[in-house]
Structure 1
Amino acid sequence: MKTIISAFLWAVFSIFVHAQSRFDKAQKDAADHHKLIVLNFSGSDWCVPCIKLHKNIIDTENFKQLSTDNVINYINADFPRNKKNQLSPEMKKENALLADQYNAKGLFPYTLLLDSQGKILKTWEGLPAENASAFCKEIKDIYQQKK
């Protein structure tokens, strides 16, 4: 009987672990390691400002260093249109849920800086005016204030 109960509990636990979203994992990691979360809504294959944002900020060493330095967890909620770039149904569902919660207006690109509880600390609508260095400095400054 103990074996059956143990197997059942293990199965339920396994389902729960796999059901966790990227955002849930990012929140837990942010809480455990005192990080912030950068959530970016983009249309990677149709939104020109989104493409520029990724090229000029997200894909830079300055931004990547924020993750390396344990300042942020980065999540990209992408909404591609081209058939060849389509996401898995699970990823589409997760991105839609994030959009419902954080991007009701459907802005692209739209970037949010969140604490580990999901509270919005800062938002950027459209392509930020700052370069990568200034963008990252702003995040670091907010991180230092939250410490």
Structure 2
Amino acid sequence: MNRFSLRALSAAVPALILSIAAPTRAAEGWTEDFDKAKETAAKDGKDLLIDFTGSDWCGWCIKLQKEVFTKDGFKSTAPKNFVLVELDFPQQKEQSKELKERNAKLQEEFGIEGFPTIVLADAKGRPYAKTGYQEGGPDAYLKHLDELRQVRIDRDAAFTKAKAAEGLEKAKLIAAALEKLDADVVTKFYKEETDEVIALDKDDSLGLKKKRDTAGKTEALNKELEALGTSGKLKEFEARIDKFIADEKLEGEEKQQMLMQRLQVYGPDRLEAADKLMDEVVAVKPDSDTATQAKAIKERIVEMKAQVEKSQKETPEEKSDAPAEKEEKEEAPTKKGK
């Protein structure tokens, strides 16, 4: 739950729908079978590009597909480094019960709460980067993927170097590689490496044990927040987040991700508060991945605010003459993708 949901904001303004119907993605080059994809990646020495998408309802998913995934430049270049995996959570498209359950399990495993989310992982399925929609078309997106892929290359180089080291020096090399990954990813997918660092760094001079302990507390917090949100105790929800940040002395991207949790209780009537929250998130660490996401969300919020203002200025006659599709809403599924 270190990521965040935009369900309330996504449904706030009908004008944000980018398309009513999604074009069909060519099956060639993509697979829905995650286990088979890992086997192929291991055999061919490639990474995994996993697209968590809502192909027939999510406007930004559709936009990413139209502008990037269907373009020849992407289709010819991306498969050189990645096995492409599509995990779809549609509202209208039929899927087998088995596929739905498998996708939901992977959504939970990878901590996906917003669409589209693109996960880059190694052949073992261990994620090392997350991204989403990016402007600029296929060339810009491929460049972006290359930059993210460098995280895995640097990670592997550090792991290889660590094999030849001993003691605290070995711990430092492993910890440096893990430092570039999200804390929740490290806790869930890099347990072996984390345990080794903690065993070698008995005084916790590198702080990895503290981070792991914080991750455990975060999991407990998430359950508490879920209960508060479900019961409508929104002020208590936000206050609990602030207290956790203060108690755990969170900094950097960990603090940003915790602040992002507030979006879960920000509906269409709190666009101004959401706008200010994004500024607060960015200010913590402007060059982080979470800051990039916050900037993109802020742009979307600005669009929403403008649309709301325009709607408020319209006369009843103008509203009644509006095209029918303006009344449709982009509804996000639940966390399980149902």
TM-score range, shorter chain: 0.7 to 0.9
Local SS of the residue matching 2:56 = coil
Cα offsets for 1:4-43 (capped at 9, x unmatched): xxxxxxxxxxxxxxxxx81111111111111011101111
Q: Which structure has more strand as a fraction of its residues?
A: 1
Equivalence for 1:33: 44
The residue that corresponds to 2:135 in the other structure is 129
Q: Tell me the secondary structure at the aligned position of residue 101 of structure 2.
A: helix
Alpha-carbon displacement from aligned partner over 1:37-90 (angstroms, at most 9, x marks no partner):
110111111110010011111111122113553x111111111112xx121112
Tell me the residue number matched to 2:106. Answer: 98
Render the CA deviation track for 1:78-124: whole Å, top value 9, x for unaligned: 11112xx12111211121111011134x2111111111111222211
CA deviation after TM superposition for structure 1 residue 131, in Å: 2.5
Change (3 A) 1:117 1:68: closer
Counterparts of 2:49 and 2:63, CA distance in 1: 17
- Supply the distance in 2 between the matched residues of 1:144 and 1:32 (Cα, whole angstroms): 21
User: Contact conserved, 2:54 with 2:116, CA < 8 A, in 1?
Assistant: yes
Query: Is 2:82 aligned against 1:72?
Result: yes
C-alpha displacement at 1:135, in angstroms? 1.2
1:119 paired to 2:126: yes
Tell whether the 8 Å contact from 1:103 to 1:110 is kept in structure 2 after alignment: no
In the alignment, structure 1 segments of 5+ residues that lack a partner are: 1-20
| Superposed CA RMSD | 2.2
Equivalences for 1:33-52 in 2 at 5 Å?
33-52=44-63
Structure 1 counterpart of 2:143, one-letter code = K
Match of 1:59 in 2: 70
**Which aligned pairs between 1:76-91 and structure 2 lie closer than 5 A?**
76-82=86-92, 85-91=93-99
Q: In the alignment, which residue of structure 1 is the partner of 2:144? A: 138
Change (3 A) 1:67 1:25: farther
Larger-gyration structure (1/2): 2
Q: Bigger relative contact order, structure 1 or 2, given CA contacts below 8 A and separation 6+?
A: 1
Higher share of residues assigned helix: 2
Structure 2 residue aligned with 1:23, among 15, 19, 34?
34
The answer to whether the 8 Å contact 1:35/1:143 transfers is no
Q: Secondary structure at the match of 1:113?
A: strand
Letter in 1 for 2:137: N
Using the size of structure 2 for normalisation, the TM-score is: 0.33
Q: Is residue 119–residue 129 contact of structure 2 (8 Å, CA) maintained in 1?
A: yes
- Supply the AA of the counterpart residue of 1:72: F
Percent identical: 30
Task: Give TM-score, length-normalised by structure 1.
Answer: 0.73
Alpha-carbon distance change, 144 to 32 in structure 1, aligned in 2, over 3 angstroms:
farther
Aligned match of 1:6: none
Answer whether contact 2:122 2:152 (CA < 8 A) is retained: no
